[in-house]
């Protein structure tokens, strides 16, 4: 059986560092890239797809560390994480066994999600009356954003797209929910990665932690270089270009690889 190489872990880390901050599903891209690289859907490869995201998330902590010193922001992150945490821990085995690594689910989620993003942007009108500061967001809205985030447990949906669209549906300002979305990724991915490693580390190959470290560091460096630009773009533009990209990617991958 083919094993992941150091070069492949670095390539996947770089891919994660770019796609994490765009509404195109970083996990979906990792799964499709793994398919192209011929990686087997072993427990370790599935764990890698989860854990490598922590590198990009670490970039959020580094660049937005002051936000994590604000008690009002922290309280809202805790409330936002609770729905995802409960659902994620409850459905962990189902997600790991049947969703992570399934290219067909990724392609379907990318395609349908692309259509949904385009339709949403054509119909949505942004409110200018809602709070612009994360510290002023109502806890009920924050909890609902966490509920929307849980939909992204389906690979290909995109965590950022789910949370941002959820926030916009509740009337939040685009710039505010974009920033909150990426801050919320920190407790979410720390919990997901930590729990998965605790459950699966005994199935890792001898070089498994070395490969995880390489992917993590690559993802971190790429994210640090690209994060401000990518988040700034998402704050100022609609999701229509991303919706089109998702549809095209799903169609091309299905026709050339899966079909």
1 pLDDT band, cuts 50/70/90, is low
120 pLDDT band, cuts 50/70/90, is very high
Higher pLDDT, 202 or 76: 76
The structural domains of the chain, with segments of one domain joined by +, span 6-258
- pLDDT for residue 187 is more than 90: yes
The average confidence (pLDDT) of the chain is 92
158: nearest Cα among 16, 28, 33, 14: 28
Summarize the confidence of residues 189-207 as an average pLDDT: 89
Higher pLDDT, 98 or 217: 217
State the helix-helix crossing angle for 53-63 and 43-51, rounded to 10 degrees: 10
pLDDT of residue 206: 87
DSSP character for 69? G
Buried b (16+ CB within 10 A) or exposed e, 137-154: beeebbebbbbbbbbbbb
pLDDT tens sequence across 44-97: 999 999 999 999 999 999 999 999 999 999 999 999 999 999 999 999 999 988
245 pLDDT band, cuts 50/70/90, is very high
Tokens, residue 179: 């920033």
- pLDDT for residue 128 is more than 80: no
pLDDT tens sequence across 164-184: 999 999 989 898 999 999 999
Whether pTM exceeds 0.95: no
Residues with Cβ < 8 Å from 257, sequence gap 6 or more?
35, 36, 103
């Amino acid at each position: 059986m083919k094993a992941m190489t150091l070069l492949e872990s670095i390539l996947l880390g770089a891919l994660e560092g770019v796609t994490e901050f765009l509404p195109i599903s970083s996990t979906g891209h990792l799964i499709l890239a793994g398919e192209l690289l011929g990686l087997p859907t072993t427990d370790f490869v599935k764990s890698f797809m989860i854990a490598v995201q922590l590198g990009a998330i670490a970039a959020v902590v580094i660049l937005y560390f002051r936000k994590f010193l604000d008690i009002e922001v922290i309280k809202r992150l805790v409330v936002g994480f609770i729905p995802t945490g409960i659902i994620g821990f409850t459905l962990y085995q189902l997600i790991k066994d049947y969703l992570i690594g399934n290219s067909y689910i990724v392609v379907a989620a990318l395609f349908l999600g692309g259509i949904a993003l385009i339709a949403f942007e054509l119909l949505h009108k942004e409110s200018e009356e809602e709070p612009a500061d994360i510290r002023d967001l109502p806890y009920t809205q924050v909890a609902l954003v966490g509920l929307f985030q849980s939909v992204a447990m389906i690979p290909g949906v995109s965590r950022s797209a789910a949370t941002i669209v959820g926030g916009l549906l509740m009337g939040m300002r685009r710039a505010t929910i974009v920033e909150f979305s990426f801050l919320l990724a920190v407790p979410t991915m720390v919990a997901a990665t930590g729990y998965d490693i605790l459950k699966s580390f005994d199935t890792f190959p001898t070089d498994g932690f070395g490969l995880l470290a390489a992917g993590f560091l690559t993802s971190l460096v790429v994210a640090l270089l690209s994060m401000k630009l990518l988040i700034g773009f998402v704050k100022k533009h609609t999701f229509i270009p991303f919706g089109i990209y998702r549809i095209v990617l799903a169609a091309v991958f299905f026709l050339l690889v899966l079909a």
